[in-house]
Amino acid sequence: MAKEIKKTVKKAAKKKTVNKGGRPKIYSPSQLSKIGEELIEWCYQNGNWHVSAFEAEKGLVVDFCRNIARDRKDEFLPVYRRAKSILGHKIIQKAMDGGADRWVVATLTPHYLSDIDDYLDHRKEKELMMIEKAKNIAETQINEKAEGIISAADALSEDHSERTK
């Protein structure tokens, strides 16, 4: 399996296009959809074990898929998760069949898990922000109601003091 990875990386390095610099490219939803379809097809091919090899083969920048999945979740995150799932399954299957050495499994499997951890951390952070926002809204509403009750009580006490005079 280690030899297969080396072959894939060498093959990808030969096909790599040179970035001529300039402003970063902005991808349309249709372009992302096409890249996503290519990624899924690529994942099913034998000898493909890591998304970075796909990026190198297509001439994309390092961590392109991961960054796009993070920045444009609605469009690309489901495709990226599916690709990672396919590749992770291939590695585990290869290990179960006895065809993968322990180093490859130990090295690549945490990479797939770390992406899931990053996503869960981001989701937890977002939920905490939403809870904090809800607390602030509730606090503001409580303060507004309290001010209304206090002003009503002041009006009643003034009214009562005028009646007793």
> Which residue is it, tokens 């006895």?
98
Confidence at residue 158, expressed as pLDDT on a 0 to 100 scale: 79
The three-state (H, E, C) secondary structure of 78-130, written as one string: HHHHHHHHHHHHHHHHHHHCCCCCHHHHHHHHHHHHHHHHHHHHHHHHHHHHH
- From the first residue on, what is the mean pLDDT of each consecutive set of 10 residues in the chain (165 residues)? 63 54 70 89 84 87 84 82 83 70 62 56 74 84 85 79 72
